[in-house]
Structure 1
């Protein structure tokens, strides 16, 4: 069992099959209610040193997102953290303007206090994308490109449709969303011990943050069901090498690009606004 990027051993399959949800409904609600606080604590502990700057964008973005390399473009980064994508992007593509939002006030403050921060090129702000409307801070249909780098895995899957609908409203027709995240059967998923599984492919880290592992079909369905067109979805196989411990572990990430379609008639916007309204109404029932 497995997929083309990772075939599970019998032991790995047995481990995943034996893992059961360790949380009751009350515990799940409590974890969700404390998520923002736990991310603030994460950045209090690790400050700006936990994640490396994402310099791969210099080579990858012109190939994956040529739109981001054009003059006068506006990019929205969802889940900006302390700026590990923002600052390399602005270094390589200085003509960009970046809207950058994060769940954590502490993370956003680290972006603002970075010596490379330029308020003329970047607008960072705090936002819970599951409920805070982006239209309150960004003009409707103002964004050319959106990035979600290890964002969606940190959100409960039931809340991801609300995030995608929220982002959809500030994208221009034809705008592209780029996603990179944890793929199904990644080494990190197999490392979780007993008592950490919350739901299928959703786990809780020691610090109370979430980690969801996406299949291609799951990621594709989330976007297509919420109004986007699929451009590409695929697993990425990689290896993490620890030379000190002489360890080499397989990593599985998932990468996708999705597009807000061009309208074919005047009913297009109303159709997806009604979809969004229906979703939120069902959430409240």
Structure 2
């Protein structure tokens, strides 16, 4: 277990320790219903929940090439949602081709109906459960320059994370890049969970049935190597 940052209090740690894990029956049901719960999430929130991620090219220097209209580049976003990552990139670059997938058919439809997407011939969206469906069925193996997992891996059960990443690696070019951002251990989002929301070590469920895992650097070194 990583040492908590200074701003995490003893009270916070005691509350986390006292958070009792829920039953195996409910854990299994949440795994079975994962796709349905995210689809309901997008039905309820439509395109209004997440803001467009204008910060990605500031946070990831690897994406600077995407803004260079003299360079042709192929991207893949896994867990595209309604397009908060994809749409700003489509507006900034005329030479980038973007594959975007999500396992919520409702989210994919929202993205496809966006005027920016409709006006572009440089983006292909498709429904895919990266924990079991092969990306190679839609994306050519060894063809992607940059793949992204932005607040996506945390929603996947830990037992299925490694396969999901290996699935992505198959479509990356040799020397291709996987960019990643997600929740870390002791994030405020973790500390805010109410009692009886713990599924497993560092894995919690929200009120709407969607899940969130909180990463340590040790786990990331194992997964993204």
> Shorter-chain-normalised TM-score: which range?
over 0.9
- Tell me the SS of whatever aligns to 1:172: strand
The 5 Å alignment of 1:136-285 reads: 136-224=137-225
2:32 matched residue in structure 1: 33
The 5 Å alignment of 1:48-197 reads: 48-61=47-60, 63-69=61-67, 71-117=71-117, 118-197=119-198
For normalisation by structure 1, the TM-score amounts to 0.74
CA distance, structure 2, for counterparts of residue 6 and residue 180 of structure 1: 22
Contact preservation (8 Å) 2:2, 2:216 = no
CA distance, structure 1, for counterparts of residue 146 and residue 179 of structure 2: 8
1:273 matched residue in structure 2: none
Give the structure, 1 or 2, with the largest relative contact order (CA under 8 Å, sep 6 or more): 2
Q: CA RMSD in A?
A: 1.7
Greater Cα offset, 110-119 or 38-47: 110-119
Q: Radius of gyration: which is bigger?
A: 1
Distance 1:6 1:136, change over 3 A: farther
CA distance, structure 1, for counterparts of residue 59 and residue 131 of structure 2: 29
CA distance, structure 1, for counterparts of residue 194 and residue 177 of structure 2: 37
1:256 matched residue in structure 2: none
TM-superposed CA distance for 1:20, in Å, is 2.4
- Tell me the SS of whatever aligns to 1:182: coil
Distance 1:32 1:6, change over 3 A: farther
CA distance, structure 1, for counterparts of residue 85 and residue 6 of structure 2: 28
For normalisation by structure 2, the TM-score amounts to 0.93
CA distance, structure 1, for counterparts of residue 43 and residue 26 of structure 2: 24
What is the count of residue pairs matched by the alignment? 222
In structure 1, runs of 5+ residues without a counterpart are 225-285
CA distance, structure 2, for counterparts of residue 10 and residue 167 of structure 1: 39
TM-superposed CA distance for 1:19, in Å, is 1.7
CA distance, structure 2, for counterparts of residue 119 and residue 27 of structure 1: 42
